[in-house]
Amino acid sequence: MKKKNTSAPVTSIDPFVNWSHTTGRIFMLCFLAYTFVIPITMSVVYGVWPTMSQLIPGVLAISALMIPTSIAEVASYVPIVGSSAYLCYATGNLMNLKIPCAVEAQKVAKVEQNTPEGDAIALISTSISSIVTIVILAIGMLLLMPLQGLMQNEYVQTAGNYILPALFGSMAMGIVGRGNAPTYVKNKLTIAIVPVILVVVLSLIGLPVLDMAVYLILPMIPIAIGCARILWKKGIVKVVPNPDYQGSGQK
């Protein structure tokens, strides 16, 4: 017998989510077109065009890497950021800024991923963080000379190499707690046992798991879903009322 959720099933898409996807898709296609306008305009004005022999080796090499990477990223990031994925992808810096920023914003607003509220909050976060990055880089570019000394400071450069572990360390606590939703998934960490063991084994046999992380996510998603399904069927993983729930960030 199917266990029923307490919230009403969604049968149609929330109008805002629908708007956000449609607008995002149009924006994305216009934006991608504009990314080509820049080199094409430069080529036309300066009369300098790349030859096919110059272009093809580089395009093939980077595409061979980027196509599988993109499949893995889209499969894992879109469920987290929902309809703000368009702005996220257009403004880049996903793993080192947009994704953790959106996750933190959902936490601050006490909303869940994959809900209309979670989508709207992720869009607010992505819009704001995109603007912050654009403004900081614009200021930085204008002050490039005076800032050069600071930015090339060895401590600043060293710290810059540790952004990823610092971000994941900060986010790790998010999976341990019960969160702020009316319900929470009891024993959810058990779902991660098999994927974690697999990553450890792959590391022990000498694979550079950190360099391959983005590719490893792709098989880990169905493995984790399979584990979750088995654990749910056995009654180990289940949705229960959250005793820590203090209401969402609602009026």
Partner 1 sequence: MTGATLANSPLLYALIAIGLVAIVIFALYCYRKARAHCLELGLSAETINNVVKSSISFAIVPSIAIMVGLLTLSATLGVAWPWWRLSVIGSLSYELMASGYATDGMGVAASQVLNGDPSIFITVMFVMTIGVLAGPLMVAFVAKKYSTGIMKAKTANEWGTIMSGVFFLAMLSVYIPALLLNELPTALTLITGVVVMMFFGALTKKIPALGNFVMALTLIITLCLSVVWDRLFPV
Residues within window 10-29 making contact with partner 1, judged by CB under 8 A = 10-11, 13, 16-17, 19-25, 27-29
CA separation for the pair 198, 72 (Å, rounded):
17
Q: Work out the end-to-end distance of the chain between its first and last CA atoms, rounded to an integer number of angstroms.
A: 37
- What's the chain's Rg over C-alpha atoms? 22
Q: Which of residues 51-90 bind partner 1 (CB under 8 A)?
A: 51, 54-63, 65-67, 69-71, 73-76, 78-80, 82-87, 89-90
- 67 in Cβ contact with 84 (< 8 Å): no
The alpha carbon of 176 is separated from its chain's Cα centroid by a whole number of angstroms, namely 19
Instruction: Residue 95: count other Cβ atoms within 10 Å of its Cβ.
Output: 16
What distance in Å separates the CA atoms of residue 83 and residue 100, rounded to the nearest whole number? 16
**Interface with partner 1 includes 136 (CB under 8 A)?**
yes
| Minimum distance of partner 1 from residue 66's CB (angstroms) | 5
- Say whether residue 188 binds partner 1 (CB under 8 A): yes
Does 245 bind partner 1 (CB under 8 A)? Our answer is: no
Could you say whether residue 180 binds partner 1 (CB under 8 A)? no
Task: Identify which of residues 34 and 245 has a Cβ nearer to partner 1 in the complex.
Answer: 34
Pair 139, 107: CB distance under 8 Å: no
162 lies in the site for partner 1, by CB under 8 A:
yes
Interaction of residue 130 with partner 1, rule CB under 8 A? yes
- Note whether 3 binds partner 1 by CB under 8 A: yes
Q: Does 235 bind partner 1 (CB under 8 A)?
A: no
Please give the structure tokens belonging to residue 176.
């341990």
Q: Which of 229, 230, 241, 244 binds partner 1 (CB under 8 A)?
A: 229
- State in angstroms the smallest separation of the CB of 56 from partner 1: 8
Contact 18, 116 (CB under 8 A): no
